[in-house]
Amino acid sequence: MSTLTLRDGAEMYYKDWGTGQPIVFHHGWPLSSDDWDNQMMFFLQKGFRVIAHDRRGHGRSSQTFQGHEMDTYAADVAELAAHLDLRDAVHVGHSTGGGEVIHYVNKHGKDRVAKAVLVSAVTPMMIQSESNPDGVPASVFDEIRLMTATNRPQYFKDFTAAFYGYNREGAVEKQGVRDNWWRQGMMGSVLAHYECVKAFSATDFTEDLKNVDVPVLVLHGEDDQIVPYQITAVKAAALLKNGTLITYPGFPHGMPTTEAETINKDILAFITA
């Protein structure tokens, strides 16, 4: 099992397959690198080197007491990139991972990153505030934290319905997809998942988006019930110096899984352009 010992002694689990230009995948809350199975296989077979890690407290990485915020997440990625000596890399982040990507690229990745992709990402900021009046009310995230802390096994099972759009009329539900989400979530630390809700909801990525110079592709489903695209993707693309926005009618938050063929094709076109 490939692990990296981070500066504070935490162990980060990662996968590193293939050769060629590296693509680094950053997973969403409360999942693991396994959520990128579709993309890892697709891009590996296209001749890329594919890398994915379990964020601290998630999956097979250490269940640390501290460090569950974006500065630490990005610094952890920087250590992994240095350890693997990644150059000309493309960083792809889903949901919380999108915030991690843009924060890493701005703070640490200027000499190592060629392009970035934000998929169903939480950027620039989710929570409602005076400066973000059309954001999601804080009470929504308070509820997620409460249910995660007190009823995680059942809450995670229920959460998958909206995550994949299986609660929509006519949706073709795949129980294996729901079970795999639950499996990944329950591998991680309840404390990490609780704290990560604040990290993905209350972090302001505005300056990160403004300062990133590399090309960034922003992909988002228009029927995303977890991270509404109007307050995230549309705003994020407008803040980027070199951003491209694609939105998909009817696609859910978990579209890298449910709509992998479309998402993979568009990411490939962006990388190879």
Percent of the chain whose pLDDT exceeds 90: 99
Q: What is the pLDDT of residue 117?
A: 99
Bridge pairing between strands 3-5 and 11-17: antiparallel
Q: Where are the alpha helices (DSSP H) in 87-169?
A: 96-107, 138-163
Quickly count: other Cβ atoms within 10 Å of residue 117's Cβ: 26
Cite the active site residues. Answer: 95, 224, 253
- Predicted TM-score (pTM) of the model is 0.98
DSSP summary character for residue 25:
E
Query: Which one is the CATH code of 3-272: 3.40.50.1820, 3.40.630.30, 2.40.110.10, 3.90.1420.10?
Result: 3.40.50.1820
Q: Is 90 exceeded by the pLDDT of residue 53?
A: yes
Instruction: List, for residues 85-117, the tens digit of each pLDDT value.
Output: 999 999 999 999 999 999 999 999 989 999 999
Q: Is 90 exceeded by the pLDDT of residue 173?
A: yes
The residue ranges of every structural domain in the chain are 3-272
Q: What is the pLDDT of residue 1?
A: 80
User: What is the rounded average pLDDT for all residues in the chain?
Assistant: 98
Q: What is the pLDDT of residue 115?
A: 98
- Asked whether the CA dihedral 45, 46, 49, 54 is positive or negative, the reply is negative
